[in-house]
Every structure is written in C-alpha cells, then in structure tokens.
Structure 1
Amino acid sequence: MDYGLTEDQKMVQDMARSFAEKEIAPYVEEDEENHYYRREILTKMGELGLLGWSIPEEYGGNGMGWMEAVTALYEIAKVHTSWRLSISGNVWGPAMTINQWGTEEQKQRYIPGLVSGKFVGSFAMTEANTGSDVSSMKTYAEDKGDHWLLNGTKMWISGGHTCDVGLVYAVTEKGLGSKGISCFIVDYNNTPGITRIPILKKVGMWPAPTSELVFENAEIPKENLLGPRNKGFQICMWMLNNTRMGCATGAAALSAACLEGAVQYANERSQFGKPIGKHQMIQQQIAEMKLEDEAAKYLVYHAAWLKENKLPNQQETSMAKLFSSMAAVHAANTAMKIYGSYGYSTEYPCGRWLRDAKQFETLEGTSNIHMQIIANIELGYQPNR
C-alpha cells in the first residue's frame, strides 16, 4: 500500500514544518529550562488550521482528515514533542468526541473555540489509584435534579491547569463499574469548586502542563452531560482510540529526531582519524534506529489510513502506539550513546529526547495494555473496531 503524500499533503507538511521551525524551535531550550507553556503557540496553530483535523467545516474544521493530521503533527512533534499534547488535548480529545457524541448546541458552543485555539482543551480520566483500569475511578457526579454535583480528584491531566474547556469522566451510578460512568463537558473558567494544581516534578515533557484537579461540589449544568448517561466508558474508549494516534505520531517523530541528530553527530565527530560514522558499531546502531524509525512511521500512516477510510483500526492504532513508543525509547537511548559524553550534557538534546521518550510507554494506555489489546484482537477474544 502506497502512503506517498499527495501534493496537497506535501503542502500541509511544508506548512507544519515551517511553523515548527519558526514558532517552536527558537524557544525549545528556554521553555525546557523554565518549564514554560506558551499558550500563544496554540492560538497560532488554530489560526493556521492546525487544530481542525477531521472536524466538519461548519464547526471550524479545516476540511482535511487523518492523513493530513498525522503528517502535520509529525513535523511539529519532531521539533518539540511536548506540543503534540496540545493538538490531542484540543482536537482528538474534546473536539472530535463532542462532534461524535454531542448535541448540536454542544457542538456549536465548544468545537469552534477548540479548533481555533481560542479555547485550550483537556480530558480527565486518570486518578491516583485509577490508571489502566478506567472502570475503577471514584470521582462521582450526583444527579441533583437541575444540575450535577461533581466530587473527586483527577491526576496527571495534560493541560489541566491551563485549559478552558475539558471532558471529565465520572461515576454516575455506583456499583456498576464501567457501566456506571458518564462523560461531562466542564467549563473550567466559570465553574466554582474546582482547584487546579500544577504537577511540576516530572522527568520530562516540561513545557507541557500537567495537573491535579480537585472537584469539591462543583456544579455542572445538566446540559453538559456528553452522550447518554452511563455511556461514558464507551465514549472514553472511542476517544482513546483517537488520542492514541497523537501518541503514536509523537513517538515516531521523536524517533526521527533522534535518528537525524545521531546521523549528523556521527558525521561531524571524529575518532581514530575518521568520522565515528565510519566505525562499524556506530553503523550498526544507526541501521537499527533507521529500521525501527521506518517501521514506526509505516504503522502510524497505516492506522491513519484506516481511520481516514472508516475501517476497523483499534488493533492497528495500538500497534502503532506500542511500536513507536519502543522505537522512540530505543532511539533516544542509542543517540545518547552515539553522542558519548556530550550526550550527557544539557548543551545537546539527548537528555530531553530520553526524558520525553519514556512518557510514551505510559500515556494513553501503558505498553502492557496495548500488548493486551493487540493479542486479544488477534486471538479473536474481542473485535477490531
């Protein structure tokens, strides 16, 4: 199958690459050092249409789909992988999920702001004791007749303390596990009872905001229930199969960044009278990185093509996410070896690559969970949706 880019997709690629080089690259090291999130970059993405993928044009979408989205995100994440979270946090999380499950009023009220960059988005599932087992969440939304009363705590929420609008998953009927969870649209700027606490002690992804969210009798309007009551688990799994493409693409892009950096350094650095790239051990490492990089990119585009054509893709999305995560971690680790002592210096990006690569093994489903999804579908224990 040929995943060669069309002329229009090449234009998208060039636009995204130019944007990343001009708007993101000059601030990478400064923002890393200061753990600083530049909201204006998200706004500029929205102005260029880089947040409108797979969203109908009537709600502000750009009229393009998954293949263009992956192509653009790849170029952005290759420059600084922290920014792939903003695209997932706005588009493949809230905007697409509201478009799929929301009322017409919800679509018109929230989607245009998310795809234009006027709103910063998020989605909250994880809790202190709830990660892979989403059905074990404790956050509870009580039906009070004319509103919902939300209580509980969410952890490790990307964009949690910087967002304007987000999806929150909560129990609405206790004792039913996954069959008693619902999804809510939360207006963080106009809802009392929400405390947002930045999580600053992280290994990597420093410019990407991560938060703890505490809900204490937060009143959520009845009309902010997204989809049917107690169908939140189904909505969550549907959403994750989209946001995982962001992880897969970001990891593949990071693998590519490590490979490009290692190749450049191997040609510049000399030992024993010749560039280190002339030494067989370095060549073996470069070859391994290249093999994994190409395989990761192929899996990402294959999953995106299936989504584009509305074909079953859960297994392929998990394959792309799992393998790209493995490729990114291996590439980052190998790049640090090739750079030698300089790889351990903060003057070079190897440390950032390695710190950022490790998060892909956890976010949007751990590597163990994706192994399980792939195997269960292959064994026929669950369908490939």
Structure 2
Amino acid sequence: MNIDLSEENKLIRQLAKSFAEKEILPKIKEYEQKRRFPRDIIRKMGEQGFYGACFPEKYGGSELGFLNLAIIAEEISRVSASIGSTFNAQSMTVPFTILNWGTEVQIEKYVPKLIGGEWIGFFGLTEPGGGSDAAGSMKTRAILDGNEYVVNGQKVFASYASVADVGLLFAKTDPDAGHKGISAFIIQMDRPGIEAKDISMSSLGNLTKTCELFLTDYRIPKENLLGNEGEGFKIAMNALDYGRLTIPARSVGLAQACLEAAIQYCNERVVGGHKIGEYQMIQKLIADMTVEIEAARLLTYKSAYLKDKGAATTRESSHSKYFAAEVVWRAAQAVYEIYGGYALADEYPINQYLAYAGLFRTGEGSANIQRILIAEDALGWKDANRHNMKRRFSLKSDIF
C-alpha cells in the first residue's frame, strides 16, 4: 500500500475542508441554538457528491471511492461532529445497502434521493434491551398479510428517524429461526402506524437526532422487502461492515479537532508566566494525541484502500473502528484536561467533543464487541474476513 495520498485525494480533502469551513462552521452554532435541523447543508453536501462517493454515476454517485469518502467524512467531522454523523445513514448503512441488495426499481427510487441529500435516511436495527445482541433480542415482528407485511415493535437509537423520509427496518418474519428469521425492509415515514420520538441527549447539541421508533400495525408493501426473507441479519452485518468506514474517519476528524483546539489553547493560556504548552505534562498529552491520531488515520485509510480493491475488510474495519474510537476518546479527555474549568463553558466546544467521542466509541459496535472480534481473529478461532463483503457494483475509481 502506498501511504502517500494522490493529487486527487489531496484535492478532495481541500474541497471538503473548504466546504466545511465556509458552509458549516459559520452556521453551526445558530442551527444548534435554534434547534433547526440542517437539511439545507445536507442537501448541499449531496449536491457536492460527498455522500455519493462510493456510488455509480448512473444512480447519481460521484464514483470517488472509499478512500475519498473517508477523507471527506474526516474533514467534515473536524469542523462539525454532528454534521459528520450524517455520513452513515446518508452514504453507507442505508443507500449503499439498498445498492447492494435492492432490486433495480428500489435502487432507482431511493438511492439517488438519499445520496443527493434530498431525502434523509435512518437505520432501524437496535431494540430496547438489545444492544449488541441484535438477533437474539429482536422482538419486532413482520407478518405477511396478502401483499403487505404488518409490523409491530419498537426500535431505539435509530438516528435521524424523527426527521427522516425513508429507512431500513429489521424485523423477525420467522421468530423461531434465530438470526435466520430476520428480514430487512425499506420503509417510508409518510405511512400510518409509525412514530419517531427524539431521545433527549443535550450533550450532543441539538442537531444529531437519536430516536425511538414505535410501529403499530404498520404496513409495508411486499415489494419493499430488501433481499429475501431471512437475509436480514446478513444484510445488517454487511451494512455495518461498510458503516465501520465512516465511524473511524469521523473519529479521526473529531480527534484532529481536539488536537487543534488543544494546541491553540496551549499557545494562548498563560499560567505562572509561561504558556501552558511549555509544561511537560501538557506536552505529553499533545505528543500522545499527535501520534495516536496519525496511527488511527493510517488504519482508517488502509481499510478504505482495501475496500477500493474489493477485498473483504471485516478485520480491517474492526481494527480501525476500535482504535480510532479509543483515540478520539483519549483525545477528548486530554483536551478536556488541558482546558480545565473552561472545558465546561459553552463558549468552547470541549464538552460536546467528549460527548461525541463517547458516541463514536459505542456506535456501529462497541469497544468490547470489537475487542472480541479482534481477539478471536488473532487467536485463530474465527477468521474475521471469512465472509466476502457483498458489493454489486464497481466504480471507475476502483483499484483492480
């Protein structure tokens, strides 16, 4: 692997950085204060081709590839972790899953509007009390009734469901078949029998919508089944594999923001006649952050590079997700320590950095789940890359 970025990669980084600093940074505080969901920013990001980086041009994609997607998500998240959080549902877990598993009719109907930022998507897998045991704990039922499935159940941590237009929903169609009894559906929020409620998480600001989803006799047309009955668990795991590209990229971006905030403060804050950056204990924090962020970035880029080659990357995705999430958690704690009491002030984003670092550490598979997967792979008990990642379309940017 060549660790030098190409001129195209550098150009894409500059484009994303410029967009973030011109279109997001000047507006983000006002959006949060007014609790205004940034649909216009999401639409502009879609028009720039940011969400469509891994999609064929025939469906509205920009065909920039996985490495460029990681770079874009990193730069957006460096300026705004909340806007960066849209990359999963708007790029990977929802539209890319439809691209891989959907019919041509489903792809043409949903993918262009999702990656274009015209529609907001969500991913409905986790249930109350379920956590990482998505299959064993699933209680949401989908029963076929003529040409429709009737769904009853509840989901939790379905990000953006309260502002979404469409989403992926996972439900048991055969309750006695374990994970093989789960099916996946494309659902629309404009049909009766579905309600989304925000879960209050003020520490994340007011833009990231984390939601509960309630389904009561909600009817899904049979043609909205994604893949075949019983393939839902496989589809969900495949979706999360791809989602574990944007999570570490966003973690790296947020960790970089923590480092930049720390460096600025260390050069401005004077204690005992010295800039606090002159004190060795502070220098240790800065040194650790600098090196760990670079290591996390390289792991993330490796995962993206292998995806561009069409390789199975469950192992590499887990490595990068686990390490980058730990790095951003430590970086947020370090900048919190450097700022001291000012970390709590609304004038600075430090408290929010810490909250998002905790979210990234948990989302798309918690730290402990990643540790188990990594350890079992290293011990030779379960080859993490034993399953090929489903990928239906290749891109012009692919390296074959």
Report TM bin, short chain: over 0.9
Q: Which residue of 1 aligns with 2:209?
A: 209
Q: Which residue of 1 aligns with 2:132?
A: 132
After superposition, where does 1:26-175 map in structure 2 within 5 Å? Answer: 26-135=26-135, 136-175=137-176
**1:33 Cα deviation from its structure 2 partner:** 3.8
Asked if the contact 2:172/2:181 (under 8 Å) is kept, the reply is yes
Instruction: Give unpaired runs (5+ residues) of structure 2.
Output: 386-400
Q: Which residue of 2 aligns with 1:176?
A: 177
Please give the alpha-carbon distance, in whole angstroms, between the structure 2 residues aligned to 1:200 and 1:103. 37
Matching of residue 19 in structure 1 with residue 19 in structure 2: yes
Q: Which residue of 2 aligns with 1:230?
A: 230
Matching of residue 200 in structure 1 with residue 180 in structure 2: no
Q: Which residue of 1 aligns with 2:307?
A: 307
Amino acid of the residue matched to residue 40 of structure 2?
E
Matching of residue 276 in structure 1 with residue 298 in structure 2: no
- Secondary structure of the structure 2 residue equivalent to 1:196: strand
Q: Which residue of 2 aligns with 1:240?
A: 240
Compared CA separation, residues 375 and 206, structure 1 to 2 (3 A): farther
**1:344 Cα deviation from its structure 2 partner:** 2.5
**1:197 Cα deviation from its structure 2 partner:** 1.2
Q: Which residue of 1 aligns with 2:375?
A: 375
- Secondary structure of the structure 1 residue equivalent to 2:339: helix
Amino acid of the residue matched to residue 145 of structure 1?
G
Amino acid of the residue matched to residue 149 of structure 1?
V
Asked if the contact 1:252/1:328 (under 8 Å) is kept, the reply is yes
Please give the alpha-carbon distance, in whole angstroms, between the structure 2 residues aligned to 1:62 and 1:309. 17
Asked if the contact 1:241/1:314 (under 8 Å) is kept, the reply is yes
Asked if the contact 1:85/1:158 (under 8 Å) is kept, the reply is no
**1:35 Cα deviation from its structure 2 partner:** 4.1
Identity of aligned residues (%): 39
Q: Which residue of 2 aligns with 1:249?
A: 249
Please give the alpha-carbon distance, in whole angstroms, between the structure 1 residues aligned to 2:270 and 2:129. 50
Asked if the contact 1:42/1:117 (under 8 Å) is kept, the reply is yes
Asked if the contact 2:332/2:354 (under 8 Å) is kept, the reply is yes
RMSD, matched Cα: 1.3
Q: Which residue of 2 aligns with 1:336?
A: 336
Please give the alpha-carbon distance, in whole angstroms, between the structure 2 residues aligned to 1:9 and 1:205. 31
- Secondary structure of the structure 1 residue equivalent to 2:348: coil
**1:49 Cα deviation from its structure 2 partner:** 0.8
Please give the alpha-carbon distance, in whole angstroms, between the structure 1 residues aligned to 2:13 and 2:323. 23
Q: What TM-score comes out, normalization by structure 1 length?
A: 0.97
Between stretches 53-62 and 336-345, larger displacement belongs to 336-345
String of CA shifts for 1:114-168, please: whole Å, max 9, x gaps: 1111111111001112110010211110011211111101111101111111100
Please give the alpha-carbon distance, in whole angstroms, between the structure 2 residues aligned to 1:33 and 1:318. 36
String of CA shifts for 1:37-69, please: whole Å, max 9, x gaps: 211111011111111021111111102110110
Between stretches 1-10 and 11-20, larger displacement belongs to 1-10
Please give the alpha-carbon distance, in whole angstroms, between the structure 2 residues aligned to 1:125 and 1:202. 23
Instruction: Give unpaired runs (5+ residues) of structure 1.
Output: none
Please give the alpha-carbon distance, in whole angstroms, between the structure 2 residues aligned to 1:382 and 1:228. 26
Between stretches 29-38 and 17-26, larger displacement belongs to 29-38
Amino acid of the residue matched to residue 206 of structure 1?
N
Please give the alpha-carbon distance, in whole angstroms, between the structure 1 residues aligned to 2:92 and 2:269. 41
Q: What TM-score comes out, normalization by structure 2 length?
A: 0.93
**1:28 Cα deviation from its structure 2 partner:** 2.6
Please give the alpha-carbon distance, in whole angstroms, between the structure 1 residues aligned to 2:381 and 2:188. 39
Between stretches 207-216 and 265-274, larger displacement belongs to 265-274
Asked if the contact 1:312/1:384 (under 8 Å) is kept, the reply is no
Compared CA separation, residues 35 and 366, structure 1 to 2 (3 A): farther
- Secondary structure of the structure 2 residue equivalent to 1:169: strand
